[in-house]
Amino acid sequence: MRTVLIDIIAGARPNFMKIAPIIRALDDRKSAGGRLRYRLVHTGQHYDARMSSDFFEQLGIPSPDVNLEVGSGTQAEQTGAVMTRYERLLIEARSDLCLVVGDVTSTMACAITAQKIGVPVAHVEAGIRSGDWRMPEEINRMATDAVTNWFFTTSETANDNLRRAGVGEERIFFVGNTMIDTLLANMGRLRRPSFWQDLGLESGGYFVLTMHRPSNVDEERHFAQLLAAIVEGTRGLPAVFPVHPRTRKTLEALGAKIQGLHLVDPQPYLEFNYLVRHAKAVITDSGGVTEETTVMGVPCMTLRDSTERPETVTIGTNEILGTDPEALRAALDRLFSEGWKKGEIPEKWDGRTGARIVGILESCLFR
């Protein structure tokens, strides 16, 4: 029987919840005599347990077959290290397909490396665009899609973006959202974090804050103004802030000015989503979190000028506020005085995306 070897690339935290359902679907087919084999390649872009191995454990992802151990660095340093090491792997032990997810540096670096060596590329979460070239993720999305053979998409907007870029209909597969597969599969397992009682948290009575974009956190004064708006605007309710390693550096420089916020370590998946599910609202500059709040029906305020996931705004519970502290104050006032839109769940965000992807890969690879 002819089999096909797929490299599944995982690099940074937001990749892990996207690969888990694909791996599960591949394992299901394998036990049913499937012809798709996989090799799990971790680039090592995120390496702290709290940013990486904790997620593998909680989500039941097997240990990586290969770890490229690239570690931290500038955008170019990380890209170069991933490319050099992944190319070496492909030369020594070639795969038949490189499957990348999302938009982190590892996604782009592996896609380009594979395609240059003649290994076709599948991109999960293809076609989304913010139009904001100041974010490295936007460059990563464009560069990845420029070398992708099969595009797996989360929305009609993504399909339209790809069509406009000249991608043929036969290469676009609207499958839904693997991140939501993971959320739905774990909804009954979400776990109250150990600090819940110490911080006096009550369901619907606190805020969750996540911020790590350079545009928000790298400049101390601006970051301090945003934090002040949050402390005032949340009107004495606790605001829990799981702090990304990048953000911690700026917070330490700000010192005492951040009293009123509860800083905690980056949370594992089950604890983080427990916090989100029971929050009054989430304030964030993440992309993925806006999809999870949409599915959980939790009000979400995004501190960015644009989004590559417009359905979280047009269909879901998200609002794009920009990065002006005044806009945040106004939105918090509105939340307390009028409440928030309820939102609905976008098409095909139904928990079955991983299985759809694997079914399509089988038919494309064994045509």
Indicate which residue of 46, 123, 212, 244 is catalytic.
Answer: 212
To ligand UD1, the closest distance from the beta carbon of 239 in angstroms equals: 20
To ligand UD1, the closest distance from the beta carbon of 166 in angstroms equals: 26
Residue 3 vs 72, nearer CB to ligand UD1:
72
> Pattern 224-253, binding to ligand UD1, x per CB under 6 A?
---------------------xx-------
For ligand UD1, the binding residue among 8, 24, 36, 45 (CB under 6 A) is 45
For ligand UD1, the binding residue among 6, 9, 12, 239 (CB under 6 A) is 12
Q: Is 72 in the site for ligand UD1 (CB under 6 A)?
A: yes
Nearest 5 degrees, angle CA 203-CA 207-CA 212? 140
DSSP notation for 273-329: HHHHHT-SEEEE--SHHHHHHHHHT--EEE-SS--S-THHHHTSSEEE--S-HHHHH
- Beta-carbon contacts of residue 281 (< 8 Å; ≥ 6 apart): 207, 208, 298, 299, 300, 301, 335, 340
Nearest 5 degrees, angle CA 342-CA 345-CA 350? 150
130 neighbors 32 (Cβ within 8 angstroms): no
Question: Which position has the token pair 């005085």?
Answer: 337
To ligand UD1, the closest distance from the beta carbon of 47 in angstroms equals: 4
For ligand UD1, the binding residue among 24, 123, 212, 309 (CB under 6 A) is 212
For residues 159, 162, 166 and 169, what is the CA-based torsion angle, rounded to 10 degrees? Answer: -30
Tell me which residue of 278, 212, 291, 208 sits closest to 248, measured CA to CA.
212
44 is written with which tokens?
């090592």
Task: Tell me, yes or no, if 212 is annotated catalytic.
Answer: yes
- Beta-carbon contacts of residue 12 (< 8 Å; ≥ 6 apart): 45, 46, 51, 104, 105, 106
CA distance 14 to 1: 35
Q: Is 34 in the site for ligand UD1 (CB under 6 A)?
A: no
- Residue 278: half-sphere exposure toward Cβ, Cα within 13 Å: 18
Task: Name the pairing type of β-strands 300-302 and 97-101.
Answer: unpaired
- Of 191-210, binders to ligand UD1 (CB under 6 A) are none
> Pattern 125-164, binding to ligand UD1, x per CB under 6 A?
-----------xx---------------------------
To ligand UD1, the closest distance from the beta carbon of 178 in angstroms equals: 16
- Of 73-132, binders to ligand UD1 (CB under 6 A) are 104-105
To ligand UD1, the closest distance from the beta carbon of 293 in angstroms equals: 15
Question: Which position has the token pair 């106004």?
Answer: 330
Q: Is 304 in the site for ligand UD1 (CB under 6 A)?
A: no
Backbone angles phi, psi at 40, to 5 degrees: -90, 120
Stretch that binds ligand UD1, among 41-49, 57-65, 298-306, 323-331 (CB under 6 A): 41-49
Q: Provide the sign of the torsion angle of the four alpha carbons 150, 156, 157, 163, taken in this order.
A: positive
To ligand UD1, the closest distance from the beta carbon of 136 in angstroms equals: 4
Stretch that binds ligand UD1, among 42-50, 153-161, 194-202, 294-302 (CB under 6 A): 42-50
- Of 49-68, binders to ligand UD1 (CB under 6 A) are 51-52
Q: Is 47 in the site for ligand UD1 (CB under 6 A)?
A: yes
Q: Which residues bind to ligand UD1, rule: CB under 6 A?
A: 12-14, 45-48, 51-52, 72, 104-105, 136-137, 212, 245-246, 286
Q: Point out the residues that are catalytic.
A: 212
